[in-house]
């Protein structure tokens, strides 16, 4: 069975605690799990940002604020596990080794953040490398990687395909820009480049997009790979 790591943005899975998309994701993820082995890395979303902002106001340093962010990602991860029930390994993996161990049970493995100074994008890229994934998917609130922030620039163009090096150039080029619309962090970009694992960036606001991409090979978004198509989708 193919192995797929899915980075699920907190803002996509839990836009707010009350209006969360967990049950919609549960039904899609269970269907996908019948076709391939899946590992999910859950982000912190708006709730993590709120905790981080308040911690900073209280005088916390950046690393301490990051630790709070990590705790929120794990809380969201646990909520997804609660929804997945028997389909998921019951604990949130806190290291890459644990994720590999949990996968032995043949269930969906869920994790959140790992260490300060990065985001769950980096975790998903390292996890993909660690488990030897065939594909990495970033399910986010934008339907691909754009030449500029599509919410601010009407002329922004979506990249259909990027090489890992082109992705890194975009990430490093926009690094200094406050509010830059970079969908991935620098660690993720570097690991994607060195691992050679193809990445799909797609709109996760509709969970069915994941099913269409993985099971039906119908993909809308950006492909990052040396080749212009990924073996899994062709």
Give the nearest distance from C-beta 7 to ligand UTP in angstroms: 8
Tokens representing 82 are: 């609660």
* CB nearer to ligand UTP: pick between 113 and 164: 113
Give the nearest distance from C-beta 204 to ligand UTP in angstroms: 9
* CB nearer to ligand UTP: pick between 68 and 232: 68
Task: Measure CA of the first residue to CA of the last residue in the chain; give whole Å.
Answer: 16
* CB nearer to ligand UTP: pick between 115 and 163: 115
Question: 182 with 174: CB under 8 angstroms?
Answer: yes
- Name the DSSP class of 117: S
Torsion, Cα of 204, 209, 215, 220 (10° steps)? -100
Give me the long-range contacts of 81-85 (CB less than 8 A, separation at least 24).
Answer: 81/110, 83/22, 83/23, 83/25, 83/26, 84/26, 84/29, 84/30, 84/108, 84/110
* CB nearer to ligand UTP: pick between 52 and 168: 52
Give the nearest distance from C-beta 48 to ligand UTP in angstroms: 4
* CB nearer to ligand UTP: pick between 31 and 149: 149
Question: 183 with 142: CB under 8 angstroms?
Answer: yes
Q: Which residues form the interface with ligand UTP (CB under 6 A)?
A: 9-11, 43-45, 48, 52, 66, 69-70, 73, 113-116, 118-120, 123
Give the nearest distance from C-beta 43 to ligand UTP in angstroms: 3
* CB nearer to ligand UTP: pick between 72 and 223: 72
* CB nearer to ligand UTP: pick between 82 and 117: 117
Cβ-closest residue to ligand UTP?
A: 69
Strand-pair category, 221-224 with 199-203: antiparallel
Q: What is the largest CA-CA distance in the chain?
A: 51
Give the nearest distance from C-beta 154 to ligand UTP in angstroms: 24
Give the nearest distance from C-beta 9 to ligand UTP in angstroms: 3
Integer Cα distance of 7 and 173 in angstroms: 23
Give the nearest distance from C-beta 123 to ligand UTP in angstroms: 5
- Name the DSSP class of 232: G
Integer Cα distance of 164 and 120 in angstroms: 18
């Amino acid at each position: 069975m193919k192995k797929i790591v899915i980075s699920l943005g907190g803002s996509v899975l839990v836009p707010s605690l009350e209006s969360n998309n967990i049950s919609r994701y549960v039904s899609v993820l269970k269907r996908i799990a019948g076709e391939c082995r899946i590992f999910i890395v859950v982000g912190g979303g708006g709730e993590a940002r709120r905790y981080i902002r308040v911690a900073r106001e209280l005088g916390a340093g950046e690393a301490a604020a990051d630790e709070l962010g990590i705790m929120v990602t794990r809380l969201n991860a646990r909520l997804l596990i609660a929804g997945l029930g028997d389909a998921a390994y019951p604990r949130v993996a806190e290291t890459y080794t644990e994720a590999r161990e949990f996968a032995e049970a043949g269930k969906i493995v869920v994790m959140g953040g790992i260490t300060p100074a990065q985001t769950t994008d980096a975790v998903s890229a390292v996890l993909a490398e660690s488990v030897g994934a065939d594909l990495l998917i970033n399910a986010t609130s934008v339907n691909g990687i754009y030449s500029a922030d599509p919410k601010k620039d009407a002329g922004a163009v979506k990249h259909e395909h990027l090489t890992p090096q082109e992705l890194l150039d975009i990430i490093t080029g926009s690094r200094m820009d406050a509010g830059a619309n970079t969908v991935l962090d620098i660690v993720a970009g570097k690991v994607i480049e060195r691992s050679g694992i193809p990445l799909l960036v797609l709109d996760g606001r509709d969970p069915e997009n994941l099913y269409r991409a993985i099971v039906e090979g119908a993909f809308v978004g950006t492909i990052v790979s040396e080749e212009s198509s990924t073996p899994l989708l062709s």
